[in-house]
Amino acid sequence: MRGKKNGFMDNRTFTMIKPDAFAKGYSGAIIDKIIQAGFKIVALKMTKLSAEKAGEFYAIHKARPFFQELVDFMSSGPIVAAILEKDNAVADFRTLIGATDPAKAAEGTIRKLYAASVGENAIHGSDSDDNEKIESDFFFSVLERF
Ligand code: ATP
Ligand code: MG
């Protein structure tokens, strides 16, 4: 059981290398950057989302005008999914990936380096500890976590 008391509440985040970055061959460079930034890989897999699964993952954005575009993009090709561990993982990882729109992302961030546009922005990072758990459970069984 995870809880704040034992320090585990905020030490994990979930990420996906999105179809654009995967197709361009950036997965290795991105994983290396994540490791160099101090994140430990707890789980890792290559997979592909169906349109239905992509819609489920991003259900919170259902009412947004870009929802269909997002679902089409996220189901357009293979992705790499991972659970990462580090103190303050969610916030530190959001800093590492940079702003949603790569044009606004800070120098050296993953989106600045590898993303093409606000829609095709190379990588996902959980936005809260609660969503980390939901997203990690969406992709990984307990037998796939180390
Ligand atoms: P993610 O959840 O993928 O880590 P984020 O938290 O930075 O990204 P969200 O607001 O959660 O950004 O948006 C989810 C995803 O929806 C974005 O990463 C992007 O792929 C897509 N998206 C967001 N805004 C737009 C937009 N204006 N036009 C097209 N796609 C968008
Ligand atoms: Mg988000």
At residue 11's C-alpha, the angle toward residues 10 and 17, to 5°, is: 110
Q: Tokens 């585990």: give the residue.
A: 8
Predicted pLDDT at 8: 55
Contact (CB, 8 A) for 57 and 74: yes
Question: Which positions ≥6 away from 136 have C-beta within 8 Å?
Answer: 12, 14, 43, 83, 145
Q: Report the pocket of ligand 1 as residue ranges, CB < 6 Å.
A: 61, 66, 69-70, 100, 118-119, 121, 124-125, 127
Could you tell me the mean pLDDT of each successive run of 10 residues in the chain, 146 residues long? 53 98 98 98 98 97 98 98 98 98 98 98 98 98 96
pTM of the model: 0.94
Residue 61 is a catalytic residue: no
- How confident is the model at residue 5, as a pLDDT? 45
Q: How far apart are CA 132 and CA 2, in angstroms?
A: 12
Residue 88: the pLDDT is 97
* CATH dotted code for 12-144: 3.30.70.141
Rounded Cα–Cα distance for residues 94 and 34 (Å): 11
Of 84, 100, 111, 128, the one to substitute when testing ligand 1's pocket (max ligand atoms within 8 A of C-beta) is 100
Catalytic residue among 13, 124, 125, 132: 124
pLDDT of residue 1: 42
Report the C-alpha gap between 110 and 122 in whole angstroms: 8
